Structures are given as C-alpha cells and as structure tokens.
Amino acid sequence: MSHSNTLNNLKFNNRYLQALPADPETDNHRRQVLDAGYSFVNPTPVSNPSLVAVSPEVAELIGLDLTECESAEFTQVFAGNKLLEGMQPYALCYGGHQFGNWAGQLGDGRAINLGEVITPQGTQQTLQLKGAGPTPYSRMADGLAVLRSSVREFLCSEAMHHLGVPTTRALSLILTGEEVRRDMFYDGRPAMEPGAIVCRVSPSFTRFGSFEIFASRGDTVNLKKLADHTIQSNFSHLLSSNKTPDKDTYLAWFSEVCDRTAEMIVHWMRVGFVHGVMNTDNMSILGETIDYGPYGWLEDYNPGWTPNTTDKQERRYRYGDQPKIAHWNLFQLANAIYPLIKDEDALHEILDDYGLRYQQRWQTMRAEKLGLNTFEPDTDTALNHDLHTLLQQTETDMTLFYRHLAGIPADDMLDDDALIAPLIPAFYTPDTLPDNHLANLAMWCRQYQQRIQQDGTDDATRRTRMHAVNPKYVLRNYMAQLAIDAADEGDYGVIHELLDVLRHPYDEQSEHAKYAAKRPDWARSRAGCSMLSCSS
C-alpha cells in the first residue's frame, strides 16, 4: 500500500472557511444564524460504528487505497468519532424556497462538512457526513439518518454517476450501532430504526439557497463573498487576468449555472429520474444532482408521477415538470444575485436562453435515445410526441421500452406482430393490450423505420448507440428496498451486488438480468417501492 494513500496523508485546505465569515457562537443549539456562511459544529459520537459499504471509485478520487477504507480508523473517521488533522467540521447556512414558498433559514440540519480535501489530481472535494447529529440548523429534528434512507442515498449517488448524470458522490455507508426514532408514514406511529451515516463527496455543497439567504437579509457583503468564492473555486475559467469578478463575470457565471442545470435536467429526463424535492435549497450551484430523498425512476411512463408523498396532491415536482421547475428555481437565483449585477434585462436574457438551451439539449438527447444521427424537427417533433402519447395509453416500463426499441429492425418486410415483438416485454399487461393499441404501436414503429432508413445507419451501429444512452439497469425503488430489507437483517450482500451492477448500467450483464425486470406486483403499493416520504 502506497504511503500517500493513507488517511493520515489526506491534505485539507478548507477554502470555504477562509472565504466566508463564521458564526461567532459555537454552542450547538438551534438558532437563527446571521452574518455568517456556516457554523462550526462537531459530529455527534456514535457508540458502535460498523462499515457497510465503500465506493472504490470515490476512495480513489480522494486518494485513498481501498484497503485503507477497510480499516477501523476509516470507520471511526467517517462515522464522526474521530477527526483527521486538518479537518474543521462545520454546517452550512442557507435558505430556500420549498414547494414554491420562501422558507427562510434552513441550513445543514443533518449534514456536517468535515473539510475540503486536496485530491491527487490537485482538485478539491468536500467530505460531508449526512446523519452525523444535530447542528444549529436542525430546527426541531435530531440531525440523524436511518439505514433505509442512507442505503438509498449511497446507492443512488453512485448509480447516477455511472449513468452519466451529474451528481454528488458517496464514499461510504456506515451503521452507527444506535437506534433512531422515525415516523416513516407520518401517521403518529413512530418506530425505532437502525441509524446510519453516509459520507457525501462533491467539489462544493453550495446551493441556490446559499445565495438566497444573504439576499433575503440584504447582506450584499456576504452575498458577494460567496459569489466570488464560488467563481474563484469552481468557475475559475471565467475569471479575467486580474482574478477579480466583475459584472460581466457574474453574468457569465450565472449563464453557466443555467447551462449546467439544463444539462442535468436533460439527463434526468433521459434516464427517467424524478428528484421528488426540487426546492431551491436542493439545487446545487454546480449543476449536480444533490439530496437524494424521495426520488424514483419512472417505471410506468407517466409524466405526472412524483415519488414524494408530501407532493401527492399538487405534484409540483412531477417528472414532466422538472425542466420548468428548474427554470423557476434559476429565476429565484437570479433574484438573489441581482444586487451584484443590477441589470434586470441581462439576467432575463440569460433566463430566456435557458429554455432554448434546454430544448436544444433535449432534442439531441431524443435523437440519441432513438439512435438517430441528428434531430430533424420536421419529422422528429411529431415522432417523439406520438411516441410519448402512445406510452401513456397503457402501463409501459420506460427503461425497458427504450432498451428493447433498439431491437426494431430497419427492414420493413415484417408483419405487425413480428415488428412489435421486441417491445412486448416492456408492457406490464402484454396479454391484455387492446388491439387498437397494438395497431397504433405498429403504425408508430413503421414511422420509426422510415426515419431510421432516412438516416442510413445500419442496425448494429444504431443498436450500439442506443444501448450507450438507454440504460438496462437503473436503481428502481423496489431494488433499493430489497437491499434495505436484507440490510435490516444484517445482510449487506444485496447492497454490494447492486453497487456492482449499477457501475455498468449500459452493459448486458446477463448474470444480473433479474435486476433489469419490471417492477413486481408486490412492489406496486408497498412503502419504499412506490411513493416515499421525506422521513429519514
């Protein structure tokens, strides 16, 4: 084992702490924190931590050998029981709009940053423990997390990365050895659950709400400090030779934030991911997917679906509205940074461009999902609209449909039954599909054939293209629940198996084909497999 790959050789510089003022009060009690970007707070020690899983790729990213991650010291550090030299734990202060309403101060209520580590590549990654105890921002909560939500966060962070979706990462999942009281269904029947901690990793955990809190308080001095630090640390390519951000820098930065956000949302739509809680405090300034709570993947293709029980009535954060909500959130960010720019027209122009950028990326993504060389609006707008209409008419598994669509041949000599045969496994009730639906599906497939013939790409090349963007494996909620059920019994094998499978979501992996199946009937209404609460 290389000496440089040990815990004690991790180097921290904690730039954020140097750039923003600290909360002068150091007692860990709930309070409003003014004129500060963060509060110093230590993780709450736990009694008997044990390692459940580690992501080898994230360990390598921050410069740790995998064998080091299996050490007792690693478990103590990432359970919050021990601090390495250079670590300075703190919780971030931020606000946010929740379900469209300004919520005031929120902050890291159950997340504690250990510090910013310098990676072997010379970049920086912030190490953050989720579920490590209360902070000044915990309000009425205990700052802890339970195993079921921690398993979901750990697996999904890594699954999204390997799908090619911008995301925060997860280094480790550790049991605390303690029980946590949770009311999973918000029905007045709380129960004790195993406690757990996930170490999340990202270049920055700054959110849209980090800027909103300063703007809401008229604190332009700290608003500017935060913006300047964010640009200098994570958008330094936008700086001119003098290294001092000015109005043009802020506009270029906001434009890139819009661009990154559009890119992230297009990826969500590509793989059928629904975040579930797109509040502005859950929007990363880096355009990364952050805060994996009641998320889910479309199984039945339904643009109106949301996995969040809290949003069951309004469905504000449903799958089909995610691009629009991202735009709304960016508008709130524009309001927050306006005091630094004072040019409403320029900000509106960038916000208007978001729609165009998103549309362009969406069209490119749709062409890729269908295996086409380019998106041709004259034909492909209607082709996509008709397909989406068709998919909603009967229960159709989105992931399987696009994966099997690659099996449709360009050759138009097949009869209707043979033509649509590759798609039948994507339907939940294939034996009871109405004749008119089968006829409409065959009609669409013939239009699709004409389009791919026009493209002139051979079937093998098109299939390879489609399999590179249409995953075979995603972290369906029932799969995560299987891992949780096993973990509750002390069996972590399913977690490790899923972590391995989800590292290669576009590969066939025939030995793991059971995880490429439609949602089973038992999972339709079971808690954790359909809609989920924010309880963690």
CA separation for the pair 144, 127 (Å, rounded): 17
Task: Quote helix, strand, coil % in the chain, to nearest 5.
Answer: 45, 15, 40
Given a cut of 50, is residue 2 above it in pLDDT?
no
Is residue 3 scored above 50 in pLDDT?
A: no
Confidence label for 528 from pLDDT (cuts 50, 70 and 90): confident
Average pLDDT, stretch 21-43? 97
Alpha-carbon gap, residue 56 to 7, rounded angstroms: 15
**Residue 167: strand pairing partners:** 289
The pLDDT of residue 308 is above 60: yes
Q: Are 99 and 314 in contact (CB under 8 A)?
A: yes
Task: Collect all residues with Cβ–Cβ distance below 8 Å to 352 and sequence separation of at least 6.
Answer: none
Q: What pLDDT is stored for residue 188 in this prediction? A: 76
pLDDT at residue 235 is higher than 60: yes
pLDDT in the model for residue 412:
78
- Whether pLDDT at 510 is above 50: yes
CA distance 142 to 405: 48
Residue type, 402: Y
Banded pLDDT at 530 (limits 50, 70, 90): confident
343 is catalytic: no
- Beta strand extents in 41-88 (DSSP E only): 50-54
DSSP secondary-structure letter at 518? P
Domain range list for the chain: 3-208, 218-368, 374-456, 477-523
pLDDT of residue 158: 98
Residue 4's pLDDT is what? 58
Please determine, for residue 46, whether its predicted confidence score (pLDDT) is greater than 70.
yes
Which of 178-182, 209-213, 219-223, 250-254 is the least confident region? Answer: 178-182
Query: What would the DSSP string read from start to end of 403-468?
Result: HHHTT--S---S-HHHHHGGGGGGBSSGGG--HHHHHHHHHHHHHHHHHHHHHT--HHHHHHHHHH
Mean pLDDT of the chain: 95
Express each pLDDT in 105-125 by its tens digit: 999 999 999 999 999 999 999
- Catalytic entry in 65, 108, 228, 281: 281
Mean per-residue pLDDT for 49-64? 98
Q: What percent of the chain has pLDDT over 70?
A: 98
pLDDT-derived band at 417, boundaries 50, 70, 90: very high
- In 74-190, which ranges are E strands? 90-92, 95-98, 101-105, 111-118, 124-130, 169-182
The pLDDT of residue 531: 73
